[in-house]
Amino acid sequence: MNDALMYFLKVNIAIALFYLFFRLLFYNDTFWKTRRFYLVFSILLSVIYPFVSFTGWLEKQQPMQAIIVSYAQLQAVTVTPRPKSVFTIENILLGAYALVSVILLAKMLMQLVSILRWKLKGEKKQLQGTKIISIKETIAPFSFFNYIFINPALHSEQEISQILAHEKTHALQMHSLDVLISEILTIVCWINPAAWLLKREIRHNLEFLADSKVVESGFDSKDYQYHLLQLSYQTPEVKLGNKFNVSPLKKRIIMMNQQKTKKAGIMKYSLIVPFALALVLSSNAETIVNSAKNILSTTKNAVAGNENTVINKNDEVVDAENENQETVVAIQDANQTDNSKVYTVVEKMPQFSGGEEALIQYINSHVKYPTDAFKNGIQGKVILRFVVNESGKVGNVEIIRALYPSINTEGIRVIKSLPDFTPGEQNGKKVAVWYTMPITFRLDDGHDSHKGTYTVVEKMPQFPGGEEALLQYINRNVKYPIEAQKTGTQGKVIVRFIVSETGKVENATAVKSIIENVKKVGEVVVVGYGNQTDVKVQAAEANMVLLEKEANRVVSSLPDFIPGEQNSKKVAVFYTLPITFRLN
């Protein structure tokens, strides 16, 4: 479906929904000014909302990535050759629709010309202190923007006062602008019944506003209503203007006599905010699906290729422990691109030299397994996103699904090292395009003794009460070893454990310990302890073992977690928890 037709459908659906919303909630209230805002706003928003997009932000959210991929996998695209003949059913229907729109447009232009004719034909006068255009013919009074057209000879002084109060309200509040907007709506969306109904409600509401102003000005409401009935036999000459005796009079009289709606009732108009947001979100759904197709197309082969990236003890391992972990968030470099100008899907996607297979081979040959991740048995998939700019260079590298700090850093490093791509194109012009790449880090089967245990799952294990409750439990139950206190030993212990399918904590093991205040004096490594610096590192390490044992003990005592889930099934998941021991 082409973009123009999709836009047209979105606009018409929104118009229909806004009208139904009006009928359900606002049809019988007396907030004329608020109703006027709603009716005009509904048309303007229907026209604008398809252009509002926040898919760039959505695509960066990790939960949205899973939704995008799973949803896009349900989509099927069928391509059929288009007939080359101009006289296709589609073109004939489009021509017929355009013809009706042209006829309606011509009708509106004739009305405008008629108003201009009355203006030129009439005589400008002052009537009861109000500027008017006096018409000698027998016509019903009407106004158009600041012009009030009336034949004074047909009305008494009292009637003229009522007419002028009514029409001045139309003129001062620019009601003709609403009329033109509703006319244009029916010209463009004439096939949509809701457009005509919305136009009718706009016209009626403008009359309710003017009638209300007449009554508020001190005129007797019954006398005014009789006056409307007397003029009901006059057929309006100009249908584009705001007519004094516009039908249906019965509805106008009912509304004048209706009890005013309580002020608290205006709060229901706030419902337009979530309704408008829902429209914008639904409009973005199509773009999200297109983005999903991009993710699938750019990751399909990469996933298959990287599943074979097995790094074992004999493979080269890079020490990433001292890497700057801040680079996990984003990499600022010479290839950085303004994200507001980056496409997600284009007609011609960027291509790696040699194709997808060459890209996978490059990553397999250049990626290194981080030492700490290898030692701790960390494996899984990290998904990165980057920009291939107009010249084919790689920049704006981001993590959209993290795994482990050093693995994330290594993924960013290898992506940054990629040679130039053939840039993407849109409308024959080279443009910057987002590209998504998953890299799977997997150990050999003999390395991890906990087969079937996941590192990252769709729904990670949760401690009852959340992270804050977990920290409170640790703080209440941990006991600082006395020997470590005496020697002033402090530092951080990182404990890795398994949350089983039932939520129980198993296999708590200290996988890393960091001694604080380590210094080097000559060839002897010492650790800060009080004001002394003569304790050998072996003593500090011995005390750190006490801290590790205490960390393992308190973690092993944790109550059951809410287990993790993968594919809606409860599974065992590795969980890493740092515990810092610090003295005052």
pLDDT tens, position by position, 327-372:
233 333 445 555 567 888 888 889 998 888 888 888 888 888 887 7
Both 337 and 406 in one domain: the answer is: yes
Both 346 and 324 in one domain: the answer is: yes
Question: How many C-beta neighbours within 10 Å does residue 208 have?
Answer: 19
Query: Is residue 95, in this structure, part of any structural domain at all?
Result: no
Which amino acid type is present at position 273? V
Both 424 and 474 in one domain: the answer is: no
Both 5 and 70 in one domain: the answer is: yes
Both 427 and 471 in one domain: the answer is: no
Both 284 and 337 in one domain: the answer is: no
Q: Which residue has the higher pLDDT, 324 or 22?
A: 22
Both 159 and 228 in one domain: the answer is: yes
Res 531: pLDDT:
38
- Measured between alpha carbons, how far is 31 from 260 in angstroms, rounded to an integer? 8
Mapped to the 3 state alphabet, what secondary structure does 270-308 carry? HHHHHHHHHHHHHHHHHHHHHHHHHHHHHHHHHHHHHCC
Query: Is residue 94, in this structure, part of any structural domain at all?
Result: no
Both 285 and 193 in one domain: the answer is: no
What are the CB-based long-range contacts (under 8 Å, 24+) for 274-282? 275/17, 275/21, 276/45, 276/49, 279/14, 279/17, 279/45, 279/49, 280/49, 280/52, 280/54
Res 297: pLDDT:
44
Res 545: pLDDT:
82
When divided into structural domains, the chain yields a total of 4
pLDDT tens, position by position, 140-185:
888 898 899 988 888 888 888 888 888 888 888 899 999 999 999 9
pLDDT at 526 over 50: no
pLDDT at 117 over 80: yes
Res 325: pLDDT:
31
- Which among 319-333, 442-456, 501-515, 526-540 has the top mean pLDDT? 501-515
Give the pLDDT band (50/70/90) at residue 214: confident
Phi, psi of 150 (to 5 degrees): -160, 150
Query: Is residue 346, in this structure, part of any structural domain at all?
Result: yes
Res 62: pLDDT:
46
Give the pLDDT band (50/70/90) at residue 424: very high
Element (H, E) at 207: helix 193-216
Query: Is residue 154, in this structure, part of any structural domain at all?
Result: yes
Least Cα distance to 56 among 303, 362, 400, 366 occurs for: 400
Query: Is residue 102, in this structure, part of any structural domain at all?
Result: no
The last residue of one of the domains, among 394, 424, 441, is: 441
363 neighbors 384 (Cβ within 8 angstroms): no
List CB contacts of 452: < 8 A, sequence separation 6 or more.
Answer: 571, 572
**What mean pLDDT comes out for the span 271-298?**
67
Tokens (6 digits) for 196: 């005509």
Res 559: pLDDT:
94
Res 445: pLDDT:
42
What is the span of the domain harbouring residue 185? Answer: 110-261
Both 116 and 224 in one domain: the answer is: yes
What is the residue-averaged pLDDT of the chain? 76
Both 527 and 429 in one domain: the answer is: no
Tokens (6 digits) for 81: 């050759």
The last residue of one of the domains, among 232, 261, 290, is: 261
228-to-145, 232, 244, 385 alpha-carbon distances in Å: 22, 6, 8, 68
Q: What is the pTM of this model?
A: 0.46
Residues forming a β-bridge with 510: 495
- Which among 257-266, 388-397, 447-456 has the top mean pLDDT? 388-397
pLDDT at 521 over 50: no
Both 283 and 417 in one domain: the answer is: no
Query: Is residue 98, in this structure, part of any structural domain at all?
Result: no
Which amino acid type is present at position 56? G
pLDDT at 321 over 70: no
Query: Is residue 91, in this structure, part of any structural domain at all?
Result: no
